[in-house]
Amino acid sequence: MQTREESKHQRKIKRGGFWRWVIASVFFRLILIYFPHNLFLSFRPEVSTPVTSLRRLAEGYWLKQASMSPYAGSMYHGSPLLPSVLGSLTVKRIEGHPDHVFCSLLFVIADIVSNRRYSNQLAIGITYILASGDFAALVYFWNPFTIVACVGLSTSPMENLFIILTIYGACTRVVPLAALGWAMASHLSLYPAILIIPVILLLGYGLDAPPRKLFLQKGFYKIGDNSSSNIHCEQEKMINQSKPRIIFSWRPVMLFFFWTTLWSLYLLVLCGMSVKQYSSLWEMFQRTYGFILIVEDMSPDIAVLWYFFAEVFDFFRNFFLIVFHMNILFMILPLAIRPSHWPCFFAFVYIAISSMLKSYPSVGDSALYLGLLVLFLDELADMQFSFFIFCGYVGVSLLSPVMHNLWIWRGTGNANFYFATAIAYACLQIILVVESVSAMLNHDRKLRKLSVANLLDGKS
């Protein structure tokens, strides 16, 4: 039998190996930062979008330096706070070094902080080498999507950082941190606003846990002369004795709304001070959230909206805009009812759906939900088509730049070449969400059947 000292020594060895991999990934990023002109990652539509492009942020910064509104042109559509915070880092300061190297280093730091928040999350499942939080952190840190988003001068690592802070703060019930993360993530990207529902469930109920009702049958089992209602009563009695009743706690939820209001007002004041000299808050809302909702930019990316709205008649444009955006909202209520006892998994599903249906997605969005997916390895062990999904992501990642090159640079293809990879990418994400939800529901059914089998063994 292992002693306490031996177990502590093994944990230290595992943590040492974990941090070696983290440090290696940091050095790998730092090496790639010095070769951006050879990789051209900042020009890739899969990496840099009209909302997350650092080159567009630099344009907004220079407009502001020229005593003009950062939204005066048609380039910048992000938060007015980003040019004030990151604008000076986009200037080339060291002769012979690539542009934006200092900003790239900041994104590396953002990835490191996100990695730390991953590793501190509760280990929902059980892995044999590392805790699930550490394993998810390594998957996120070594994910090629995360690396190219960091090196490719995209602001998506900053958005991912605040989303992870939201989930981490809700899991640990650090309400001010969760409120700050949610307010900042919603301010930068709008779509993380739907995470308020899993955050409320995490604060109210706590971490993921099977509900009591999964262990209570509906009354269709019979054993000898015992009626099914008696079995159901015995099951409920057993659960009540072995598992405490989970009561929703309103106090952290009320505190979350208080801190959210406080942080949101603070952000509005800062934004108002930032744009007061050049424009107004209303222009900021039009150029940021309005730009996202109206889908003004038809530049090709890995989404399907650019092609669809480039082909649709203008008369039907507003109708389909409502349809596409309401798709996200229509999925909130069913998911909030059925798997609500898995709030962390619920947050993963929301992030995956918003990444799939948002106006200007990037690979940085996929890196976030793929990292969260690893937290549920045990529950999703029986997920079908996992190998097919993995090969699909690899194939789309390789084919997308090839098709874009054939269309834009070589002229031997057309828009349908690149759009086909976008459709394939969307289909893969749909399959991933459907299969993961189905696997989680099957996991709940297995728990229920296991409870029935244990009850039958106890009565025999």
CA 213 to chain centre: 29
Distance CA 309, CA 350 (A): 24
Mean of the pLDDT values across residues 273-283?
A: 83
Residue 453 lies in a domain: no
Q: Does 259 have pLDDT greater than 90?
A: yes
Q: Is residue 406 part of a domain?
A: no
413 part of a folded domain: no
Predicted pLDDT at 56:
87
**Please, what is the angle between helix 196-205 and helix 343-357, to 10°?**
180
Are the C-beta atoms of 167 and 369 separated by less than 8 Å? no
**Best-predicted range by mean pLDDT among 30-44, 171-185, 269-283, 332-346?**
171-185
Considering the domain boundaries, does residue 261 fall inside one?
yes
Q: Which of 136-140, 219-223, 253-257, 409-413 has the highest mean pLDDT?
A: 253-257
pLDDT tier, 110 (very low <50, low <70, confident <90, very high otherwise)? low
223: DSSP letter: B
pLDDT tens digits for 178-213? Answer: 999 999 999 998 999 999 999 998 898 877 655 554
Residue 26 pLDDT exceeds 90: no
- State the chain's mean pLDDT as an integer: 78
Q: In the block, which residue shows the tokens 């779509």?
A: 191
Tell me what pLDDT residue 352 has: 92
SS3 53: strand
pLDDT tens digits for 383-437? 888 889 999 999 999 999 899 888 988 888 788 889 999 999 999 999 999 999 8
What domain range includes position 85?
Answer: 11-211+246-297
Residue predicted with more confidence, 131 or 182: 182
For residue 232, tell me if it sits in a domain: no
Q: How many domains does the chain have?
A: 1
Q: In this structure, is residue 303 part of a structural domain?
A: no
If one compares 220 and 73, the residue with the highest pLDDT of the two is: 73
Residue 411 domain-assigned?
no
How far, CA to CA in Å, does 149 sit from each of 184, 275, 285, 374?
19, 28, 26, 20
The structure's pTM equals 0.84
At 262 the pLDDT is 95
Query: Is residue 83 pLDDT above 90, yes or no?
Result: no
Q: What is the pLDDT of residue 185?
A: 93
The answer, yes or no, to whether residue 135 has pLDDT greater than 70, is: yes
Q: What is the model's pLDDT at position 459?
A: 57
Q: Does residue 163 sit in helix, strand or coil?
A: helix
Residue 375 lies in a domain: no
Q: Check pLDDT > 80 for residue 6.
A: no
pLDDT for position 219: 42
What is the per-residue pLDDT for 221?
Answer: 41
Is the distance from CB of 112 to CB of 354 less than 8 angstroms? no
